[in-house]
Amino acid sequence: MNFYQSIVDRTRNIGQAVVGKYHLPGIAIGVTSSKNLICAEGFGLSDIEENIPMDPSTRQRIGSITKTMLGICVMSLVERGKISLDDPVKTFLPDIPFQGEADSLTIWNLMTHTGGIGEAPNLKWKTDPMGALWSEEPPTETVTTAYSEGVFIDVIPGTKWHYANHGFELLGEIISRVEGIPIEKVLMEHIFQPLQMNSTDCLDKNHNTLSAGYHREQSYDDLDRADLFAEPIRNELFVDGINIRGKYEYVRPKAAGFVQSNIYDMIKYAQCLLKSGFPIISEQSFHEMLKPQWCLDERLITMGLTFFRREWFGKLTFGHNGGITGGWNSNLTIIPEDDLAVIVHANINFLQFEDLVSEILFSIFGIDDQGFNSCDVDSTFFSQASGVYELPLGILTNFRPINSVGRVQIFQGSDGFLYIKSRRGLWRDGNRLIPIDDSNDSVLMLIDTNQAYLPRIVFVKGENGSVEKIQFDRIVEMYKNPSLKPW
């Protein structure tokens, strides 16, 4: 059996398996090399109520994978001498009022999520940032109108990482103004048409070949937040005992995630990435996108220019996820050393999507486990690491980690092992930590969960050898605060 045929067989097996294990509506998976489509398969249903099978030609809302396409458009402008990554954002957007330290905000900051822009564009949306991301009606406002009340720069650009959808809406507007045409037309002329992605657009509207989107009932943390902000509890009906049909909500910061595509077209895009951006940008520009632009620790997930970077299977991988409220999740993973790319489209938005993708990748590449060996750490390390850790200052740039994790405490359990416990999320009940790399100034540990890919955490020591902060795979760091009590 040749290598490609084994990938086809494993893809078919894991596709069927994850539909059953995770009770998915449906999923489509594509695998390609830079030259050849290896596999494109659909599993489950694109519409549960109508019993329509999922197919590789079924349309999907790919969400934030859109951001990587914007990144390529920026690098095309750089090559043509129309823009520089160091250019100030305010130069291109003089009609948008910025609040805070905006003078040093650059194109590079927008492309790396280091612009000090949070989940909400300004303080008006502080308690309802999701309202600034999604709309029940197609948004008709211009970018200038949408941000007429200002864009709040929460921290000095370049000093902190926080995922920023609104930063990419600004980036899309800059691209549009420099090119002199709407961003929708830019993507059509510079990405979709050159790659012959004929079933792809960024109109962000329902389509007769679009999969129906589904989601799950509110989680414990969802209900907790609803109580905190006095939000109504959703009363939604299951269509099959576990999945809930979602409604089509529109992306308000459109350029952050308005593309629809299918597996066959995304394979063409992935082949472009495997060929270092050819035929859209030069190899040199593309390699610049893949360099670590924001890196807390090279053993963790790092940020390139719009692409997330991760060492997986002992190899560099890069790519992006895309999630749409109500019912869609996608993943694009590129493994350049093996000349392979994997695209996953699921017509469900749920918390376990990244676990699902990890299982698919592990299976496709025939990996049984993560292949780590635990190591010993100094006996004093446990006491040095123990304590409560919190996020650095930020009003809007802490939204995601506060909602997903909150403060965390590190403590030694009665069994002698070190544990992590979070205020909310997957580690709420406490999870054991497994040390796998001890260097002079830091210790890398895995968080022992039941996930296919175990989350990583780095303990960073100060000059006196005591642990001062911890860093996570999500490019987040927290600092120990001795005044905070464990819970």
Residue 159 C-beta-side C-alpha neighbours within 13 Å:
13
Instruction: Give me the pLDDT at residue 17, please.
Output: 97
Dist CA 301 CA 115 (whole Å): 19
- The 10s digit of each residue's pLDDT in 54-68 is 999 999 999 999 999
Instruction: Give me the pLDDT at residue 258, please.
Output: 98
Q: Work out the pLDDT band at 232, boundaries 50, 70, 90.
A: confident
Amino acid letter for position 200: T
220 or 298: which leads in pLDDT: 298
Is the pLDDT reported for residue 26 higher than 90? yes
Q: Is 322 helix (H, G, I), strand (E, B) or coil?
A: strand
- Domains belonging to the chain, first-starting first, are 1-368 (3.40.710.10), 381-480 (2.40.128)
Instruction: Give me the pLDDT at residue 440, please.
Output: 78
Is the pLDDT reported for residue 213 higher than 80? yes
Instruction: Give me the pLDDT at residue 1, please.
Output: 53
Q: Evaluate the CA torsion angle 275, 74, 269, 365 in order and state its sign.
A: positive
Bridge-based pairing state of the strands 477-480 and 250-251: unpaired
Q: How buried is 3 (Cβ within 10 angstroms: 0-12 exposed, 13-18 middle, 19+ buried)?
A: exposed
Q: Work out the pLDDT band at 5, boundaries 50, 70, 90.
A: very high
Q: How far is CA 68 from the centre of its chain?
A: 11
Amino acid letter for position 33: S
Dist CA 406 CA 295 (whole Å): 22
Is-contact 73 184, C-beta < 8 A? Answer: no
Q: Which two tokens stand for residue 236?
A: 């939604």
Dist CA 484 CA 467 (whole Å): 16
CA nearest to 96, candidates 139, 146, 171: 146
